[in-house]
Amino acid sequence: MLHLRTERLDLVAATLELVQAERVGPAHLEKKLGAHVPPSWPPPLNDEDSLRWTNAQLARDPAGAGWFAWYFLHREHGTKRAVGLGGFAGRPDAEGTVELGYSIVPECHRLGLAPEAVRALLAWAFGHPEVTRVRAHTRPELVPSIRVLEKCGFARAGEGTEPGTIRFELCRHQRS
């Protein structure tokens, strides 16, 4: 299992087995992750469609674990709790760009967990020499999401691909 560790988080790359457990229900995901899954799961903007998409991607490309979803597990008081989900929209494209997304369960907002997880994902992505740029899209009214991107070094780069979204980018040479 592909795993990243930060000061407070364990990030676990989604596998077909984990995604299928999540599709069955929270108790199955808890067992496979070895972490409590709160009643508020899944985090905002993650629904059955995104779960189906991740399942299809991993079924098609099981070796691509890491280039799709990651589970964010908060380590506290000797236990682990699922607090978020994030990752990439696939392997790098021909120009070396990957797209990043992330979401934290509402009760864990404003704890600094999103920037911590995003920094770990950025380090992992830029650890692959073929990755030259990470892109993220958000809506202008999602100020907390914009702040996460800014804290992690992203700069606004124009309009997003979906109507009403804005694009942020971080290039390898811009990382501090």
Least confident window among 17-21, 85-89, 90-94, 159-163? 159-163
The CATH fold of domain 3-174: Aminopeptidase (3.40.630)
The CA–CA distances, whole Å, from 119 to 21, 41, 77 equal 27, 22, 23
pTM, 2 dp: 0.95
Angle between helix axes 16-24 and 48-60 (nearest 10 degrees) is 150
Q: Which residues contact 123 (CB under 8 A, 6 or more apart)?
A: 4
**What is the per-residue pLDDT for 47?**
85
**What is the per-residue pLDDT for 70?**
98
Mean pLDDT (the chain) is 95
* pLDDT band at residue 25 under the 50/70/90 scheme: very high
Quick: pLDDT tens for 26-38. 999 999 999 999 9
Quick: pLDDT tens for 86-101. 999 999 999 999 999 9
Are 59 and 20 a contacting pair, CB within 8 Å? no
**Sequence spans of domains, the chain:** 3-174
- Tell me the sheet residues that pair with 75: 80
Residue type, 28: H
Q: Specify the higher pLDDT residue, 53 or 78.
A: 53
